[in-house]
Structures are given as C-alpha cells and as structure tokens.
C-alpha cells in the first residue's frame, strides 16, 4: 500500500520530496525518487509483502519503470505463467510481477489482475506511459494534463498545477456529498475512472482513457438456491484466503452488521491463531452496534478491541479529515472510520473489512423504495413536488420525489436517481445537469432492483465508500482489504436471481443463510443501523458553536449555486429540532473547512454569523 507520483514537469528532487512528504502517511516505510530522462518518479511505501529493500520503488526492468499502489492478490498465479515463459524474479513482490507481466502482455495484462491497484508504467523506448486503475476504484488515481504538462499522483494535494476551483464539481458535491469520477474539485485535474486504463503518448502529446471492465447485463445462472449459496460461500472463502497473503499481522473490522460478521467468521476459520477484531460504537444507543459486535467476537473467538466515538473526538478529527481527503467529502462516517483505523494501527497493519456486501446483495434501506418506482408514472408531477415539500430532506423518499432527474419528471428512473442525489430546492437553477452526462449512470439493468444496485456501485461505492476507506486507513498507514469487492463475487452476484438476494423485503437473504453456519440467526437478526453517526444531535448541541462560527454569511455567499436564504432557514429549523437537515448542513460545513484549509476562503475574518 503506497503513494505514487510521476511528472514530466522540470522539477528539483527536493521539491518532489516535499510533495511526497505531504502525503507520507500513505507510505511511511520508504520514500523513493528517480529521474528517467525527462520524467520524475516518486513513491511512498507501506511494506506489506516482501519487506526487503529490494522491493522498493520506483522499480525498473529493461526499458520499463513502474510506480504502483495496491496489492495484486493473484500475483503468484501470474508469476507462475511468466516463469513458464522464461522470466526470472529477484523479489517476492507483486510489483515485479506487474512490471514483467506488462513487458510480456502489455495492456492485456490488466484483465488478468485480481486486486486493488493504481499504477503507471513508463516505456522509455516508445516514450509512452501506461496507467491503470482497479475495477471498482479501491485505489485512487489522479492526473493533470494541460499544455503537455503531466502530473500523476495517489492524492490531489501534491498536484501543484492549475488549481482553480471547478464550479461544476461544487454542484456535484452539493448533490452527492462527494465529487464523482472523472471530475475533481479542480479544473484540468481528473480521477481515472475505475475499470479504465490511461495511455499517454509523450511525443505526440496526446492521451486516451480506455475502459477495460464495467457492469454488464448478464444472464442468470441455472443454479438452485442451495447450489448458488454453496458457490458464493466458496467464492467468499477464496476471496478471504487470497487477501491474507501478507508479511505483517492482520485483523478484521467487526460491526454489528452482516457483512463484517461473515468476513470475520470466515477469516477465523482460515487463521491458525485467534484473529484480532476491531469495532467502534457511540454513546447514543440508536447508533451503537458495539454490543452486537462484541457478541459476534465472543462467538467466533476473536481478540476484540472496542472504542467509543464521542463528539469531542469528532471535533478533534475534523482538521485531519479535511487534510487527508484533499477535496470536499461529506460522508460523516469518515470520522469514526479515522478513529477506528487509529486504534487498529496500534495492533496490526493490515485489516479485512465487510465493505461491498450492501451493494451487491441489496443491503441498504433504500432498496425498499424501489418497488414504488414503477408506480411513479401514475402520480402527477405537481403532486409529487407538493409531497416532497412537506417531508424532511433526510428522508430518502422525499429526496427521490423532489429530485428533477435526468430523464423526465414522469420516469421511474427519475425516482431511483433521487435516492442518490437531491436537495434541488436548496440550490439555484443550474444550466449544467451533470448526471445526464455521467457515464456511470448509463448502466441500467432491465430489473429496477439490479439497476439500483449498479448505480450504488458506480456512484456510491466507487466515489464515496471506497474513497472513505482508502483515506481513513491511509491516514494511519493501515491497509484495508475487502473480500466482497473481489470482482468474481461482484460478477457472480449479478447472475443470481433477485429472489436469492432479496425476497419479500428480506435483504441479503443468501448472505444471512451463509452466516447462519457461523453465528445463530437470533444474534445477527437485528435492525440495520449502518455506519452512521449521531450528527443531527451533535449539530444542535456539542458542535453547535463550531457550526455557527463556520457557516457565516461571508462564506455562504462564496457558493454561487447555493440558495442562501433557503439554507439559513433550514439551518435554523434544524437547530430548533423541527427537522433533520444534518446531511446537507454537514456538506456546507465541510466545504467551509475545505475553503479555509486550501486557501480559497476570500474572507478569513468573518464577523457575521447566521
């Protein structure tokens, strides 16, 4: 697990070193810089496999140079194939396998890879750079290209060129709480979309982004329910085993949910010794899952560590959140994630997680809304708009009803899109409808539940959940591996009949039936809480003064798209306890902190509060 950097801009080695040191939490074990002709490569290493210095990067082989972030879980299989072709190896690392695999197969190597990765390989003979990002965007990849000047990095902060705010990205952020790929907060700086390669020809000064993987319409497999359950169980076992390849101690995150319980249970059967598990809870019982997690740990026999996240912890971590995420990011669960990784790092360097199960197996509460989408065409638009106006914006149905959509007001897909984006009435009229141009949206399955799951993956998982996990773990130099994100599981899940995953409101049916082999159903059959924080109450109480001091008139006027009077009204109503608008208020607050941290706040001495 690492941080990478590459540029063709003339730059002193000391300047590159300073750039890398700004994100050294991604790889505290080694900082490497190498110049190859007119290119400069930088690398930060968090050692997980082959801890020897021989595996440091940048790594070279003949006319190739690589910088690589991530893990290739099936590198041993690929290595065996390369040895049969006559290649020899000097290390036991997956980096060398990547490098020599590219030498042999070129871009055809990428579909062979099972892992989480972002890498750049320079061919000094052709003067071309080949880059790739894993199928689901577990590892980040940013690049800037303007007037022939290139910068590539694992995070935004070291990319020094062209830092002008992209107003359209602000619009996306206020809609979603994150900025979806390929966009970033800055003009002329982009995320390489998951499942894509980037090919750069330095001599011709051209680049091209090419997709190598996406979600596709697939036929159902002809398996009985029990056969499908057995196959999925075996795929999960394989995904866990392959992710336990490491030369450092490992653990597993354990919440009160189904997914982490299943991954931890499988890991406990694979490991020779009792595994270490880690959970986080809250003082508010409505949000706290720590007691359930402790019960799971007792059943599977793990060495369990539990910590409680308080409002005072949140206040202390907000500056760190703004710094490590680089651009506005408003998933408030990133804060307890930061704390959980901090505690985890005291015991292990690598940890398994249950991320990804909700997306493929219909785990989120909003999947219960989907059956109503077919009925939306029979409700006049003015009635839907009227209904939305009297409901709280934090109720997903209200967001679905109020969102004006990318197709038309009478569309069932409009309803589904509203699950993921919303708050139109808090924003001014926009000429740019970003979602209508968003390629990830155009993947609809014929089945609405599957279409919703696909959009969950292309919007939420890739741009929110995976970003949160990467930044929160890397902030404390912890590597997180997620078996549910194995592409074999993602693809197999999409071949299963809907009824295997969701039946009569029972979400994750097949996962729950597998989990029963490890944990009694009466223990895990609990209402879903999700990894949420008691933000609404904190804003009204412990964090109230912090929000009032940052949500100033001076700042609010710097957001051209924001309907300031409307926002001030909902903030007032929230503080009075009349509605829960915490999600959108948090987005504006984080944007304020980001403006301050990165020097875009036009008035650093505000004096008029809401």
Reduced to 3 states (helix: H, G, I; strand: E, B; else coil), residue 375 is helix
Q: Write the DSSP symbol of residue 436.
A: G
For 568, phi then psi, to 5°, come to -60, -35
Do residues 53 and 32 make contact, with C-beta atoms less than 8 angstroms apart? no
Nearest partner of 530 among 181, 287, 300, judged by Cα: 287
Residue 393, C-beta contacts closer than 8 angstroms, at least 6 positions apart:
399, 402, 422, 423, 426, 570, 579, 581, 583, 584
Burial 579-588 (b: 16+ CB within 10 A, else e): ebbbbbbbbb
Catalytic residue among 2, 131, 176, 309: 2
CA distance 100 to 119: 14
Residue by residue, DSSP assigns 337-358 as HHHHHHHHHTT-SEEE--TTHH
Do residues 477 and 248 make contact, with C-beta atoms less than 8 angstroms apart? no
94 is in an annotated binding site: yes
353 is in an annotated binding site: yes
Report the DSSP beta bridge partners of residue 132.
Answer: 119, 197
Burial class (CB in 10 A: 0-12, 13-18, 19+), 382: exposed
Do residues 153 and 432 make contact, with C-beta atoms less than 8 angstroms apart? no
Nearest partner of 466 among 117, 64, 137, judged by Cα: 137
Residue 394, C-beta contacts closer than 8 angstroms, at least 6 positions apart:
579, 580, 581, 582, 583
What is the CB neighbour count within 10 angstroms for residue 49?
A: 20
Q: Are strands 276-282 and 303-309 parallel, antiparallel or unpaired?
A: parallel
CA distance 44 to 265: 33
CA distance 175 to 580: 17
Do residues 189 and 177 make contact, with C-beta atoms less than 8 angstroms apart? no
Q: Write the DSSP symbol of residue 127.
A: T
Residue 346, C-beta contacts closer than 8 angstroms, at least 6 positions apart:
none
273 is in an annotated binding site: no
Q: Is 153 a catalytic residue?
A: no
331 is in an annotated binding site: no
Residue 564, C-beta contacts closer than 8 angstroms, at least 6 positions apart:
553, 556, 557
Q: Write the DSSP symbol of residue 27.
A: -
Which amino acids are annotated as binding site, given as ranges? 94, 280, 353-354
Q: Which residues are catalytic?
A: 2
Which amino acids are annotated as binding site for L-glutamine, given as ranges? 94
Which amino acids are annotated as binding site for ATP, given as ranges? 280, 353-354
């Amino acid at each position: 697990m690492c941080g990478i950097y590459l540029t063709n801009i003339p730059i002193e080695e000391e300047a590159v070193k300073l750039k890398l040191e700004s994100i050294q939490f991604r790889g505290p074990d080694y900082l490497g810089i190498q110049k190859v002709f007119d290119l400069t490569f930088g690398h930060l290493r968090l050692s997980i496999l082959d801890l020897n210095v021989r595996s440091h990067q940048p790594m070279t082989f003949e006319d190739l140079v690589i910088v690589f972030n991530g893990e290739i879980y099936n590198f041993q299989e690929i290595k065996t194939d390369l040895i049969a072709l006559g290649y020899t190896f000097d290390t036991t690392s997956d980096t060398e396998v990547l490098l020599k695999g590219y030498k042999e197969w070129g871009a055809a190597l990428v579909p062979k890879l099972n892992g989480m990765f972002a890498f750049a390989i320079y061919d000094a003979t052709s003067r071309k750079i080949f880059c790739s990002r894993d199928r689901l965007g577990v590892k980040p990849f940013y690049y800037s290209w303007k007037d022939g000047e290139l910068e590539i990095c694992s995070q935004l902060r070291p990319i020094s060129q062209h830092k002008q705010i992209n107003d359209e990205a602000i619009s996306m952020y206020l809609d979603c709480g994150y900025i979806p790929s390929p966009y970033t907060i800055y003009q002329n700086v982009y995320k390489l979309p998951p499942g894509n390669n980037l090919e750069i020809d330095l001599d011709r000064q051209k680049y091209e982004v090419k997709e190598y993987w996406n979600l596709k319409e697939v036929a159902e497999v002809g398996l009985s329910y029990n056969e499908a359950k057995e196959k999925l169980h075996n795929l999960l076992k394989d995904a866990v085993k392959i992710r336990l390849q490491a030369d450092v101690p490992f653990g597993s995150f354990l919440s009160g949910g189904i997914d982490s319980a299943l991954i931890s249970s499988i890991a406990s059967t694979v490991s020779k010794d009792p595994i270490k598990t880690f959970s986080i809870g809250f003082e508010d019982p409505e949000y706290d899952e720590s007691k359930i997690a402790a019960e799971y740990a007792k059943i599977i026999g793990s060495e369990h560590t539990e910590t409680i996240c308080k409002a005072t912890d949140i206040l202390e971590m907000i500056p760190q959140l703004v710094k490590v995420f680089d651009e506005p990011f408003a998933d408030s669960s990133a804060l307890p994630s930061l704390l959980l990784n901090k505690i985890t790092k005291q015991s292990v360097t690598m940890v398994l997680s249950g991320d990804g199960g909700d997306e493929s197996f219909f785990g989120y509460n909003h999947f219960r809304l989907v059956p109503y989408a077919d009925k939306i065409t029979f409700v006049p638009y003015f009635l839907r708009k009227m209904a939305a106006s009297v409901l709280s914006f934090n109720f997903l149905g209200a967001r679905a009803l109020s969102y004006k959509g990318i197709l038309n007001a009478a569309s069932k897909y409009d309803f589904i899109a509203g699950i993921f984006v919303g708050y139109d009435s808090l924003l001014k009229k926009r000429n740019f409808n970003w979602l209508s141009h968003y390629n990830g949206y155009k993947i609809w399955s014929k089945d609405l539940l599957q279409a919703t799951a696909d959009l969950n993956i292309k919007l939420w998982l890739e741009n929110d959940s995976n970003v949160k996990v990467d930044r929160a773990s890397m902030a404390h130099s912890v590597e997180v591996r997620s078996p549910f994100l194995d592409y074999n599981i993602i693809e197999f899940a999409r071949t299963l009949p809907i009824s295997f995953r969701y039946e009569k409101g029972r979400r994750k049916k097949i996962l729950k039936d597998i989990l029963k082999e490890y944990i009694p159903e009466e223990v895990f059959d609990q209402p879903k809480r999700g990894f949420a924080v008691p933000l609404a109450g904190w804003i009204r109480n412990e964090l109230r003064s912090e929000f009032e001091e940052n949500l100033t008139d001076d700042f609010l006027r710097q957001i051209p798209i924001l309907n300031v009077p409307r926002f001030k009204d909902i903030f007032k109503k929230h503080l009075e306890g009349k509605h829960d608008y915490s999600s959108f208020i948090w987005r504006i607050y984080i944007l304020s902190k980001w403006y301050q941290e990165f020097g875009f706040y036009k008035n650093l001495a505000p004096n008029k509060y809401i």
